[in-house]
Chains A and B, each alone.
Chain A
Amino acid sequence: MSLLLLLRTAAGGTPVAQSYVLNLEALGGIAAARALNLEALAAIAQGRGTNLEALSTAAQARELALEALSTAAQGRVLVFEALAGIAGIRVATFEALASLAQGRAGNIEALASIAQGRGANLEALAIAAQAPTINLEALGPIAVNVLAVIPFEAVGDARVARVLGIEALTGIAQGRGANLEANASVAQGRAANIEAAGYLTQARSGNIEALASIAQARDFNLEALASLQRPVAISIEALLSVTRTVGGTIEALATIAAPRGAGIESLAALAGTATLRLEALAAIARAAGVPFEAMQGIIPAVIVNIIERLALFQFQLTEAGRFANRLDEDGNFAQRRDEDIDF
């Protein structure tokens, strides 16, 4: 007898494997990897005698940080036009350009050509202008042409610090809503051409008090002030305060006062202290609708000028009538309605 034993075995599974070769590519990111770090370039330029024009050329080709370029430029004698060429074609940080100009004798015309092409921050330009020896007239066409509403004080601050051509300032102010007070503060500090300031004021609602404060501080031509006052709504009191201080020509003042409702009381106060021609005062009063009572207050004050002779004043007060005033040899006034006298 025998035993048949059938044994089954299992050795798991048969191994199987397949490999696949996959191709790939990755280009060398040349542009990205070698993207010029301009800050680094600037740092280099500061430490050696680089050709800044080369730096400019590099900057033009990429989005540069102009601040970095400025930093570089400050450390060496640069050709400013090169920097201008850069700023002209990109959105530069104008403040950076300005800070650059401060540190050297930049060619401000180049800066101007930049500013004309963009909405420059004129404060920055002004700060720049204060430090170098610039041609400030260049500032004029900038301000006229830039679209930014500039604080005029900024230009003013610049002008105080140098011998400027006020005409340039005028040209600027005409083109925008300037703050004339700034102009005044400028003009006080130098031998301004007041006619230019006058021309400026005519073009806008100037604050004549500011102009007056200018005139007080220098020997100005009042006729210019007069021609100025005509088209603008001025405070005649301010003009008077000017006239009192300086040796004004009252004819000019008369010309000013005539077409407007001047406060003749103020004019009277003026007459009391100024060396005037009374006929001129009369002409003023005649043209303006002044109350005669006010004029009466003037007469005693000016009597010293007319003693020994007679003065006749005519005043057109209202439609109601005309008055004649007579000062006799005794210094007394006589007043009649016009129907009582023969003019």
Chain B
Amino acid sequence: MPIAASDLKAYQAANMPEADTTTTGGAIAATGLVEFTDVAANDDLEALSDNAADTMNLTLTGRNAAGAIVSETKALTGTTAAIFSTLGIIERFLKGVLASAAAGTITIRRSVAGATVATIAPGKTSVRRLFYDSASEAGSTTRYEKAFMKNEHATLTLTNAALKLTADPAATIRIGAAPAVDDSATVTNRKTAPASVTFVDDGVSQGVPGGSLAAGAAIGVWAEMVRGAGAAAIKNTFTVELSGTTT
């Protein structure tokens, strides 16, 4: 069975900063996800599991229409959607954190029974936005955050592995592969550039060190976000592709 696209996963790093002062990067945090689909319009949220046994707490955090960060922790009610009414109407989703790994897949969606914002697979505990609460400053500001792309195929190696930034609508991101597979490098804070990382812009393929990702191996992907002096606020996405060949 060759490596399927679904075998290539994206995860958080151990240290995902929410301020400019905290350690950033580290090893892979394979319980943390980085992909979700933001709310298309201001709305409130609800969450449910596909397993009735899931009653752990889930904390949802977003920004309300006024731009303030709002949060609510609520116990899940199994397969019945729990509406995060205290959280209220949010303009953007920031993160969702489970108190413990769920038995089922947790779905976070617009309420009631609206579009899915994020899913947290069994064994995973969080999903989040990058460059959380960052802001432009009087001068040009560059920040760095780390994620991982992992080959979760049981046996096969992803050969000719490469990373590529395939979309950057805000034209604010470059990416760079970590200097080694399965590395755990950190930076003092997200304003500090990681060592030995070469950042490339959209459409530039960058080979994974060693040329391949063995089964279960992951490559760190540093994202560099540059905001010009006094740049306007953005709420956007960037798309990272891990490609390779499989037998």
Interface residues of A (CB under 8 A from B): 12-30, 32-35
Contacts and interface: CB of A to CB of B under 8 A. Distances in A.
Nearest to A28: B233
Given A25-B132, A35-B138, A18 B242 contact: yes
A20 B163 CA distance: 11
Contacts, number: 147
B73 interface: no
Nearest to A27: B135
B51 interface: no
B37 to A, nearest CB: 8
Given A24-B238, A25-B131, A29-B135, A12 B245 contact: yes
Given A14-B246, A26-B234, A20 B137 contact: no
A35 to B, nearest CB: 5
B133 A22 contact: no
Q: Secondary structure of the B side of the interface?
A: strand
B5 A33 contact: no
A45 to B, nearest CB: 21
A28 B232 contact: yes
B238 A22 contact: yes
A15 B241 CA distance: 13
B4 interface: yes
B38 interface: yes
B25 to A, nearest CB: 15
A71 B36 CA distance: 54
B206 interface: no
Contacts of B159: 13
A22 B166 contact: no
A22 B239 contact: yes
Nearest to A25: B235
Most B-side CB within 10 Å, residue of A23, A25, A28, A29: A23
Interface stretch (B52-60, B103-111, B181-189, B223-231): B223-231
Given A26-B234, A27-B133, 19 more contacts: A13-B244, A14-B245, A14-B246, A14-B247, A16-B5, A18-B241, A20-B240, A23-B130, A24-B129, A25-B132, A25-B133, A25-B236, A26-B136, A27-B135, A28-B135, A28-B232, A29-B227, A29-B231, A35-B138
